[in-house]
């Protein structure tokens, strides 16, 4: 079980997707790896980053027991958690705020939920900085257990997969959906604008943003005191796909975990 949590921390607390140089109306917006290591200034908001397995797992080049993309019929088919990230309005984020070491025993009771809803989608090596983002969640979240528990409960409450399915946006390798329609469905459900990141016309990541009391807010970045909504069209075309995931490689023998309804907290 130790290897599971090492992998989990690698993707949840260490990995940030470097989106690179985006172009919106001819203007480049760079939102890559701008972390503030050792910075103790309190963060401004939370970003819950979700991954779409059907897109992300296309990058799988080889399988291993840690890669949920290789679980066969047990592979994830809904948005899974990438991380809960404390961010600044200027587009940077704090990292490695304390020297606290991760203790897997602290979250052993969350093991099954984390394995299903916060799985590793790669065979990457764990990072040496285990608590890169989680340790920067204070004063809202003070300890390891509540960081993971809070993230899971926010994920369940704001069930993006269910919202999109009910609006008719279902996994398909043939259909393309209007980007504006997907954004509107989430706006109507949660009252805030998400950020979508695409790869080759397919939704790869979707971010929901929250105030520190976990009420939804628009995903924004600030510049010289002024904030603006970072348009998802910067990296996504007008019509996008939500590809179905075709698992390959290892057929997992792990026990299937039942779906936790969106209104059922842990």
CA dihedral (50, 218, 158, 13) positive or negative: positive
Cα distance between residue 247 and residue 135, in whole Å: 34
Q: Which of 78, 115, 131, 205 is catalytic?
A: 131
Catalytic annotation present for 133 = yes
Cα distance between residue 258 and residue 261, in whole Å: 9
Closest alpha carbon to 233 in 209, 207, 188, 201: 201
The alpha carbon torsion through 73, 78, 81, 86 (nearest 10 deg) reads 170
Outline where the chain has alpha helix (H): 2-9, 53-56, 111-117, 144-157, 160-166, 179-190
Q: What is the pLDDT of residue 265?
A: 63
Q: Rounded mean pLDDT of 84-88?
A: 92
CA dihedral (201, 204, 206, 207) positive or negative: negative
Q: What is the pLDDT of residue 231?
A: 66
pLDDT digits (tens, 9 = 90+) for 119-142: 877 776 544 333 566 788 889 988
Q: Which of 78, 115, 130, 133 is catalytic?
A: 133
Cβ neighbors of 20 (< 8 A, separation 6 or more) are 30, 31, 32
Tokens of 98: 């304390």
pLDDT band at residue 32 under the 50/70/90 scheme: very low
Strand duo 202-210 + 216-217: pairing: antiparallel
Q: What is the pLDDT of residue 119?
A: 86
Catalytic annotation present for 130 = no
Whether residue 97 is predicted with pLDDT greater than 60 in this model: the reply is yes
Q: What is the pLDDT of residue 263?
A: 52
Q: What is the pLDDT of residue 131?
A: 55
Outline where 34-119 has alpha helix (H): 53-56, 111-117
Determine how many CB atoms are found less than 10 A away from the CB of residue 71: 21
Cα distance between residue 135 and residue 118, in whole Å: 18
Helix (H, G, I), strand (E, B) or coil at 207: strand
Q: Which of 78, 82, 144, 205 is catalytic?
A: 82
The alpha carbon torsion through 47, 22, 186, 152 (nearest 10 deg) reads -30
Most confident of 200-209, 242-251, 257-266: 200-209
**For all residues of the chain together, what is the average pLDDT?**
76
pLDDT band at residue 253 under the 50/70/90 scheme: very low
Q: What is the pLDDT of residue 66?
A: 73
Q: Which domains does the chain have, with CATH numbers?
A: 2-16+32-240 (3.90.730.10)
pLDDT digits (tens, 9 = 90+) for 216-243: 999 965 443 334 445 677 889 999 999 9
Catalytic annotation present for 205 = no
Give the percent of the chain with pLDDT over 90.
43
pTM over 0.75: yes
Give the percent of the chain with pLDDT over 70.
69
Taking a C-beta distance cutoff of 8 angstroms, is the pair 152, 110 a contact?
yes
Cβ neighbors of 189 (< 8 A, separation 6 or more) are 163
Determine how many CB atoms are found less than 10 A away from the CB of residue 261: 10
Higher pLDDT, 10 or 204: 204
Q: What is the pLDDT of residue 13?
A: 40
Tokens of 180: 């504006």
């Amino acid at each position: 079980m130790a290897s599971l949590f090492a992998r989990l921390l690698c993707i949840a607390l260490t990995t940030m997707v470097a989106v690179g140089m985006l172009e919106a109306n001819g203007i480049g917006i760079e939102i890559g790896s701008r972390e503030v290591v050792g910075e103790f200034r309190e963060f401004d908001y939370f970003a819950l980053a979700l991954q779409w397995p059907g897109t992300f797992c296309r990058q799988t080049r080889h399988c291993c027991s840690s890669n949920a993309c290789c679980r066969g019929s047990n592979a994830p088919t809904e948005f899974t958690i990438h991380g809960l990230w404390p961010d600044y309005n200027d587009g940077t984020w704090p990292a490695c705020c304390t020297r606290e070491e991760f203790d897997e025993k602290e979250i052993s009771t969350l093991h099954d939920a984390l394995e299903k809803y916060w799985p590793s989608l790669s065979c990457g090596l764990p990072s040496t900085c285990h608590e890169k983002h989680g340790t920067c969640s204070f004063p809202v979240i003070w300890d390891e257990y509540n960081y993971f528990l809070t993230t899971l409960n926010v994920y369940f409450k704001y069930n993006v997969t269910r919202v999109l399915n009910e609006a008719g946006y279902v996994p398909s390798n043939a259909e393309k959906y209007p980007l504006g329609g997907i954004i509107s469905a989430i706006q109507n459900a949660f009252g805030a604008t998400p950020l979508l990141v695409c790869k080759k016309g397919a939704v790869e990541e979707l971010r929901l943003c929250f105030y520190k009391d976990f009420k939804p807010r628009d995903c924004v970045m600030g510049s010289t005191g002024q904030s603006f909504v970072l348009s998802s069209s910067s990296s996504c075309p007008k019509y996008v796909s939500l590809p179905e995931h075709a698992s390959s490689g290892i057929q997992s023998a792990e026990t299937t975990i039942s779906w936790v309804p969106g209104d059922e907290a842990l």
